[in-house]
Amino acid sequence: MKKNILDLTKEELQQEVSPKFRAQQIFGWIYQKGAKAFEAMSNLPKKLRQELAERFEIAIPKILNVETSRDGSKKYLLGLRDGHTVEAVLLPMKKEEKDAEGNVVKEARYTVCVSSQVGCKVGCEFCLTAKGGFVRNLTPGEIVGQVLAIKQDNDIPANRRVNVVYMGMGEPLDNLENVAKAIKIFADEHGLSISPRRQTISTSGLAPKIEKLGKMDLGVLLAISLHAVDDELREKLMPINKAYNIESVIEAVKRFPIDQRKRVMFEYLMIKDLNDDLKSAKKLVKLLNGIKAKVNLIYFNPYPGSPFQRPDKERVKAFQKYLLDKGVLCTIRESKGLDISAACGQLKERSKEAVDGNPV
Ligand code: SAH
Ligand code: SF4
């Protein structure tokens, strides 16, 4: 199989072509002009175009299926070169606004929720992705390609910057090397120009990897899937907690470099009669002491056969009020029993929050 050119950072591509500025041109063709073939890259010498075509492919994931939700979000099923599939979701954040003459005064804003693995090793009790087990890591190009495919499918202008959240299938920090490369490729000024501050990594709490990501100092935002405030319950919900307990995750977050204007998001999945009581809220406030945090409460979204239930609205409201009264930023996200199904679709509300909570 030919190499996928989307897997390369611009620096890596510069090693492959000469002179170096050809790499910028190629990036521009692929990410800004939407070129599907090297032949179309008309300002490159013919010989170079031929050489590139012999060695590389521009392998953008194939759109196999799209489900559109009532609120306008679209869930994509994407096919990879080896036949495996992943999901990604396009979330319209703000609608386009026009003045009386019909001129666009505010552009529409979008977030794309991307997958980082086919399946997941972490095996959380409540997660649909976990049920299928782990298949493989995505390459950097397969991550970047999800955004490229979705932007093109929706005719989102090439220069329109979108936000990216790593909240689809998989645990991004279990594929850190490729995710870090994807972050850089996304950010490239000759490519999609998605600054790391518009990219949010969501993790189940791989403490040493949080530290490693922090040391890389890429400037990305962080979201922690906490879901429980004591180790006993968290172990039951998320087996990863046996390896990295709550304290170790919190300590890693405290050392994580985060932009002064931004916050670390804590996702808290509310499950009926398990973690929706005020005692848990009190513990949560204590845990987050000293962290510039924002909590996002999510209603557990039951799926057929799921062992848990959706909590009562009053309980969620009371939980939120407790946090707010103690000065902890907290929002509630309804997963509206979405009319689009399955894992990544359930995550879309969260993905919105990641970006709303950190205006860029
Ligand atoms: N693996 C990473 C990122 C992908 S999962 C992580 O766990 O953070 C993104 C979010 O979806 C996580 O917060 C996860 O806990 C949540 N999630 C999984 N199953 C869910 C369900 N049935 N209802 C609501 N949220 C769910
Ligand atoms: Fe993996 Fe995240 Fe699902 Fe847990 S919630 S199994 S870490 S994708």
Backbone angles phi, psi at 106, to 5 degrees: -135, 130
Q: Which residues contact 83 (CB under 8 A, 6 or more apart)?
A: none
Local confidence band at 340 (pLDDT 50, 70, 90 cut-offs): very low
Report the pLDDT value the prediction gives residue 65, as an integer from 0 to 100: 92
Which one of the listed residues 87, 142, 171, 349 is annotated catalytic?
87
pLDDT of residue 100 exceeding 90: no
The pLDDT, as a whole number, for residue 351 is 53
| Ligand 2 neighbourhood includes 118 CB (under 6 angstroms) | no
Instruction: Name 200's bridge partners.
Output: 165, 221
Which atom of ligand 2 is closest in space to residue 130's alpha carbon? 6
- Closest ligand to the CA of 227: 1
Whether pLDDT at 202 is above 60: yes
- Indicate if the pLDDT at residue 278 is higher than 50: yes
171 Cβ closer than 6 Å to some ligand 1 atom:
yes
Q: In degrees rounded to 5, what are phi and psi of residue 199?
A: -120, 130
Out of 120, 267, 344, 349, pick the active-site residue: 344
pLDDT of 343 over the 60 cut: no
User: What is the per-residue pLDDT across 282-299, written as a single tens digit (0 to 9) for each?
Assistant: 999 999 999 999 999 988
Question: Does the pLDDT value for residue 350 go beyond 60?
Answer: no
Tell me how far the alpha carbon of residue 222 lies from the centroid of ligand 1, in angstroms. Answer: 14
Q: Out of 50-59, 160-169, 175-184, which region has the weakest mean confidence (pLDDT)?
A: 160-169
- Whether 344 is catalytic is yes
Nearest-angstrom CA–CA distance, 335 and 339: 10
Which tokens belong to 143? Answer: 């991550």
> Could you tell me the distance, in angstroms and rounded to a whole number, from the CA of residue 123 to the centre of ligand 2?
6
CA 210 vs CA 172, 186, 207: distances in Å: 10, 20, 5
pLDDT in tens, 30-74: 999 999 999 999 999 999 999 999 999 999 999 999 988 887 889
Instruction: Judge whether residue 76 has pLDDT over 60.
Output: yes
Instruction: Please name the amino acid found at residue 358.
Output: N
Kindly state the average pLDDT of the residues 93-109: 82
Say which ligand is closest to the CA of 202.
1
Query: Could you give the strand order of the β-sheet that contains 329-333, starting from the edge strand earlier in sequence?
Result: 62-68, 74-79, 85-94, 109-113, 163-166, 199-203, 221-225, 264-270, 293-299, 329-333
Name the phi and psi angles at 63, rounded to 5.
-80, 115
- Give the pLDDT confidence score for residue 258 in this predicted structure: 85
* Ligand 1 pocket residue status of 271, Cβ below 6 Å: no
Exposed / middle / buried, residue 192 (Cβ in 10 Å: 0-12, 13-18, 19+) = buried
> What is the average pLDDT value for the chain, to the nearest integer?
90
Q: Where are the alpha helices (DSSP H) in the chain?
A: 10-16, 21-27, 46-55, 128-131, 140-153, 176-187, 207-216, 231-237, 240-243, 246-254, 278-287, 313-325, 343-356
CA of residue 253 to ligand 2 center, whole Å: 19
User: Which ligand minimizes its atom distance to the CA of 225?
Assistant: 1
Pocket test for ligand 2, best of 89, 114, 115, 122 (most atoms within 8 A of CB): 122
Q: Given this model, what pLDDT does residue 312 score?
A: 93
Between CA 305 and CA 291 the distance in angstroms is 37
Is the pLDDT assigned to residue 354 strictly greater than 60?
no
Closest residue to atom 7 of ligand 1, CA basis: 204
